[in-house]
C-alpha cells in the first residue's frame, strides 16, 4: 500500500490532500497540520527552516511514507533542498504557479497572491525572471488571508471587507490590459475562492496549484497503486486536537 505524507503549517494543505486522494484513491494519506507553529510567516527564516526539517524528519520516522508533500509555499521555498539531501524518498514541494499563469495570460498582466514570506523570497523572484519575462507581474503579500481561511474552514463567519482588503491589490488596470490571472501562492487561499470570486472587481482565472501537485506525486511514485478506492486518511496535528468536521476534510 502506497503511503503519502502531506505537511502544512495548518489546514490549507487539505486542498492538496483532496486532489491527491481524488487521483490516488488507493493510497494511504497522512496529513500533518503543524498548527503549533502556525503561521510560518511569523518565524525568522533560519529558525523556521530548522523547525520544519525537524518536524518532517520526525513524521517520516513515525510513518515511513513513500513520498512527502510539503503543501506550503513558504515552507517549500526554504526546505526542499535540505529535505531532498537528507532523504532518498521523493519530496514534492509547492511553488507559485507563475509559469502556467504567464503562459495563459491574454492581457500580459498577472498577480501572485501569497503570504508576505513567499513574496519576499528570492525563489519567487527567480521564477518570475525565468518564466514570466515580458509579463507584468504584481506580487501581493496578503498578511491575514491564510488566517482568514483557517477561520472560515472552522465555520467562523468572515466579513467580506476582510477578504476584499487582502485581494484588492491583485487587480491592476494598465494601458495594455488588466489583470486576468491570479496565482494562489498559498494552499490556504483556495479555501476562500468562492468568496474571492464574488468579491473580485472583475472576473479572473484563479490558479490553484493543488491539481498539479497531485499529478506530480503520481509521477514520482514508483507504484502509485490502482484506481480503486480503499486508501485511508490519517490526521495529525502538532498542537491542538483535530477539530475540523469530516465534511471539511473530504468534500
Question: Which residue out of 17, 30, 184, 186 is catalytically annotated?
Answer: 186
User: What is the phi/psi pair of residue 160, to 5°?
Assistant: -55, -40
Q: Which three-class secondary structure state does DSSP give residue 236? A: strand
Contact 154, 244 (CB under 8 A): yes
Distances in Å between the Cα of 56 and the Cα atoms of 50, 76, 110, 179 are 10, 12, 33, 37
Question: Which residue out of 52, 71, 72, 102 is catalytically annotated?
Answer: 72
Q: Which three-class secondary structure state does DSSP give residue 141? A: strand
Task: Report which DSSP code applies to 151.
Answer: H
Residue 98 has which C-alpha cell?
Answer: 507563475
72 is catalytic: yes
Q: Residue 210: which residues within 8 A CB-CB, separation 6 or more?
A: 15, 16, 18, 19, 187, 190
Nearest-angstrom CA–CA distance, 162 and 173: 22
Nearest-angstrom CA–CA distance, 58 and 97: 29
170 is catalytic: no
Residue 82 has which C-alpha cell?
Answer: 535540505
User: What is the phi/psi pair of residue 138, to 5°?
Assistant: -105, 120
Nearest-angstrom CA–CA distance, 37 and 119: 20
Distances in Å between the Cα of 54 and the Cα atoms of 34, 73, 251 are 12, 18, 31
Active site residues: 72, 186
Amino acid at each position: 500500500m502506497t503511503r503519502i505524507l502531506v505537511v502544512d503549517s495548518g489546514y490549507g494543505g487539505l486542498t492538496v490532500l483532496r486532489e491527491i486522494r481524488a487521483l490516488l484513491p488507493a493510497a494511504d494519506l497522512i496529513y500533518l497540520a503543524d498548527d503549533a507553529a502556525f503561521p510560518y510567516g511569523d518565524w525568522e527564516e533560519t529558525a523556521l527552516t530548522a523547525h520544519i526539517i525537524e518536524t518532517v524528519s520526525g513524521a517520516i520516522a513515525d510513518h515511513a511514507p513513500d513520498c512527502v508533500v510539503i503543501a506550503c509555499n513558504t515552507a517549500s521555498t526554504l526546505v526542499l533542498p535540505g529535505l531532498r539531501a537528507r532523504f532518498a524518498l521523493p519530496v514534492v514541494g509547492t511553488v507559485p504557479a507563475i509559469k502556467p499563469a504567464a503562459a495563459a495570460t491574454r492581457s500580459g498582466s498577472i498577480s501572485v497572491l501569497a503570504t508576505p514570506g513567499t513574496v519576499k523570497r528570492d525563489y519567487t523572484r527567480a521564477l518570475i525572471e525565468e518564466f514570466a519575462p515580458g509579463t507584468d507581474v504584481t506580487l501581493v503579500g496578503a498578511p491575514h488571508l491564510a488566517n482568514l481561511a483557517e477561520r472560515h474552514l472552522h465555520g467562523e463567519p468572515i466579513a467580506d471587507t476582510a477578504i476584499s482588503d487582502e485581494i484588492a491589490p491583485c487587480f491592476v488596470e494598465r494601458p495594455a490590459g488588466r489583470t486576468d490571472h491570479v496565482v494562489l501562492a498559498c494552499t490556504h487561499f483556495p479555501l476562500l475562492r468562492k468568496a474571492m470570486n464574488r468579491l473580485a472587481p472583475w472576473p479572473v482565472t484563479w490558479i490553484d496549484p493543488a491539481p498539479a501537485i497531485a499529478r506530480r506525486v503520481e509521477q514520482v511514485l514508483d507504484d502509485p497503486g490502482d484506481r480503486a478506492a480503499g486508501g485511508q486518511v490519517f490526521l495529525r496535528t502538532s498542537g491542538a486536537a483535530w477539530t475540523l468536521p469530516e465534511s471539511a476534510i473530504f468534500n
